[in-house]
Amino acid sequence: MNQDLIVPAAEGLYCPAGHFHIDPWRPAALAVITHGHADHARWGSGAYLCHEDCAPILRKRLGDVRIETLRYGEIRDIGGVRLSLHPAGHVLGSAQARIEHRGETWVASGDYKLEADGVSTPFEPVQCDVFITESTFGLPIYRWRPQAEVMADVNAWWAENARAGRASVMQAYGLGKAQRLLRHLDASVGPIVCHGAIEPLNQIHRDLGVALPPTVNVAALDKSSVARCFALAPPSAIESPWIKRFGAHADAFASGWMQLRGNRRRRGVDQGFALSDHADWPGLLQAIAATGAERVLVTHGSGEALSRYLREKGYDARPLATEYGDEEGEADPTGEADADRA
């Protein structure tokens, strides 16, 4: 093989041949962004390149920065490197970065999941020589139930609370998880409320054609309507005065970590729903196999465990240290995960 197309650098993952970085954690001249979560899209770079649906999210979060966009599959030549973006299925506008140079192809996947969620463009495997994969849930214990089953449980929980005259407050990360929940809620049960930190991101999704049910401000509801409502809130809102508007309520948390026994208790919520925007163990293995890559680099999460398993299966696999996973990914509520786990 030629010299590595992507190498670790102080700013983040670096492509020396093209002189650009992928999801840099420190300012870089050109940042190729896989998606809009804050641990992958940080302020300070000279220019940003992302999928066209990711651009309004970056503008919302980073302000007046220079952004260029690509459609899925569109090729950009950067210093002789052919760069293209391909669906990752993680959140709206998420992408895998395909890099081709001198007959060799690498793919940096960012974060991804295989199940279609009705919000983001579904994951598409990309053939490559080297695949850089996440491993947020890279242990065999993580195996997701189908989204339809989980959402049926969420709607049943909401309906039961509404019959009992108590609001349902769901903690969910503001970008991706919140819109996925919203997309599949049964709006016939009652009004849907979104915290002010989530609603602007909902509007970006609506503007891009994602069908989401109407939401209202809790201040516009009378007491009986509040008692039947479903409220989406970021975890940070739970200790704020906003939560007092719902009175005595039932609360829940939607995260892949809810599959672990004890995490609901650690979160201090009534109910936990194992709904993740990351691939589970079977999904990671399926995605890796579909690339045809013989060499696999494993980033944030259970990197050593997944790498060891892949080596046993004949891959050239090793962990790759990164600084992802500290914001908006899917934080481990136990506090027991590696520091860089999303």
Q: Which domains does the chain have, with CATH numbers?
A: 7-142+277-319 (3.60.15.10), 147-273 (3.40.50)
pTM over 0.75? The answer is: yes
Q: Please determine, for residue 1, whether its predicted confidence score (pLDDT) is greater than 50.
A: no
- Note the pLDDT tens digit of each residue in 192-217: 999 999 999 999 999 999 999 999 99
Once rounded to an integer, what is the mean pLDDT over residues 315-333?
74
* Run of H or E residues at 304: helix 303-312
Q: What is the pLDDT of residue 169?
A: 98
Residue type, 70: L
Once rounded to an integer, what is the mean pLDDT over residues 69-83?
98
Once rounded to an integer, what is the mean pLDDT over residues 298-317?
95
**What percent of the chain has pLDDT above 90?**
87
Q: What is the pLDDT of residue 223?
A: 95
Q: Would you state the structure tokens that stand for residue 159, as one six-digit string?
A: 């309906």
- Note the pLDDT tens digit of each residue in 94-136: 999 999 999 999 999 999 999 999 999 999 999 999 999 999 9
334 pLDDT band, cuts 50/70/90, is very low
Dihedral (CA of 120, 40, 203, 137) sign: positive
Q: What is the pLDDT of residue 2?
A: 62
- Note the pLDDT tens digit of each residue in 234-274: 998 988 999 999 999 999 999 999 998 777 777 788 999 99
DSSP state of 216: B
Least confident span in 225-234, 248-257, 275-284, 325-334: 325-334
Residue type, 138: G
Q: Please determine, for residue 19, whether its predicted confidence score (pLDDT) is greater than 80.
A: yes
**What percent of the chain has pLDDT above 70?**
94
- Please give the Cα distance from 300 to 289 (Å, whole number): 19
Whether the Cβ atoms of residue 317 and residue 132 lie closer than 8 Å to each other: no
331 pLDDT band, cuts 50/70/90, is low
Highest mean pLDDT among 113-117, 298-302, 329-333, 335-339: 113-117
Dihedral (CA of 215, 218, 223, 226) sign: positive
Residues 6+ apart with CB under 8 A from 330: 136, 173, 255, 256, 257, 276, 277, 278, 342
